[in-house]
Amino acid sequence: MSLRLCPASTPDVLRPVPSALDGDGDGTMQPEQNEQLVVALRQVARELAGRRSIRDLEETLRQIVVSAVQTVPGVDAGSISMTQDGRVETRHPTSAEIGKLDQVQSELHEGPCITALEEPPPSGLVVARDFAGADGERWPRFAPRAVEAGYRALMSSQLSADGRMRAALNLYSATPDAFDDESRTMAGLFGVQASMLLYGSDTAANLLRAVDSRDLIGQAKGILMERFKIDDDAAFQMLVRSSQETNMKLAAVAQWLTTSIASDHATPELGGL
């Protein structure tokens, strides 16, 4: 019996239910099923974008995990892995056990999520059908730990939309061979949707930081213009010289200056003045 996706009793949950569309028996989805997947993905994307501002990266990550676990057939638990300072860190695991398994993959530098992050196939989807079977040979150190924790299958979908951020969506199942063609297709398409949301959130966060830095620099220039009776250009050059001589970023110098003024009500001495 194939599966289709339809809204559950609550508006923010999508779950698989039995479908009358059984396909042709060889695992190939019919056009109606493809359409249902697209509808489900569009609904999830709307929910992810509407829950909170896309600028909130952590909330976006959490909703990606929640929606994927609720949406992709055969999935029991999930998380997101991201590269941070040369290490692979887990974000928003659905249980402490999943967080530990992600940490094991990071420590061993082995497992489907590591493969998805570093050597993803063209589809971006890495599938372990059964850690107690042939996949145990592919990941010989991680597989026994997954089986011991009660998980037999895992799909990791790369979420990187550009070269700056590397991330993977990890979908675990306690059942071996739990992921059929529909599950894999859904996970792959969901990964594409999620990667674009992640990219949008990261880009918006970077733009917000840039705006904040610009505002800080503007405040600092205003302080210097008033204190030293100079124009905008000269004030900016003062900040640049101070940044160079103290080996601090320009925004950090501006932050220091505005904070010092707020706390001391006096203009601190700047290097190079």
Instruction: Single out the residue in 168, 184, 206 at which a domain terminates.
Output: 206
Host domain of residue 58: 3-206
Is residue 272 included in any domain, yes or no? no
Residue 102 shares a structural domain with residue 198: yes
CATH number, residue 124: 3.30.450.40
Which of 91-95, 116-120, 146-150, 255-259 is predicted least confidently? 255-259
Whole-angstrom Cα distance, residue 32 to residue 200? 30
Q: Which two tokens stand for residue 130?
A: 């059964």
Instruction: Single out the residue in 166, 182, 206 at which a domain terminates.
Output: 206
Residue 184 shares a structural domain with residue 239: no
Residue 17 shares a structural domain with residue 73: yes
Is residue 120 included in any domain, yes or no? yes
Burial annotation 137-149 (CB, 10 A radius, 16+ → b, else e): eebeebbebbeeb
Residue 140 DSSP class: T
Q: What pLDDT is stored for residue 41 in this prediction?
A: 61
- Residues 188-210, mean pLDDT to the nearest whole number: 72
Q: What pLDDT is stored for residue 88 in this prediction?
A: 82
Band of residue 185 on the pLDDT scale cut at 50, 70, 90: confident
Number of domains in the chain: 2
Mapped onto helix, strand or coil, the DSSP state of residue 237 is: helix
For the chain, percent of residues with pLDDT exceeding 90: 30
HSE value, Cβ hemisphere, 13 Å, CA-based, for 123 = 13
Residue 249 shares a structural domain with residue 123: no
Long-range Cβ contacts of 93-99 (<8 Å, 24+ apart): 93/65, 94/65, 94/66, 94/69, 97/149, 97/150, 98/170, 98/172
Band of residue 19 on the pLDDT scale cut at 50, 70, 90: very low
Whole-angstrom Cα distance, residue 107 to residue 65? 22
Is residue 15 included in any domain, yes or no? yes
Q: What pLDDT is stored for residue 47 in this prediction?
A: 63
Asked if pLDDT for residue 26 goes beyond 60, the answer is no
Q: What pLDDT is stored for residue 46 in this prediction?
A: 65
Instruction: Single out the residue in 174, 189, 206 at which a domain terminates.
Output: 206
Whether 155 and 126 have beta carbons less than 8 Å apart is answered as: yes
Residue 134 shares a structural domain with residue 251: no
CATH number, residue 248: 1.10.10.10
- Residues 179-194, mean pLDDT to the nearest whole number: 85
Long-range Cβ contacts of 259-262 (<8 Å, 24+ apart): 261/223
Whole-angstrom Cα distance, residue 92 to residue 123? 24
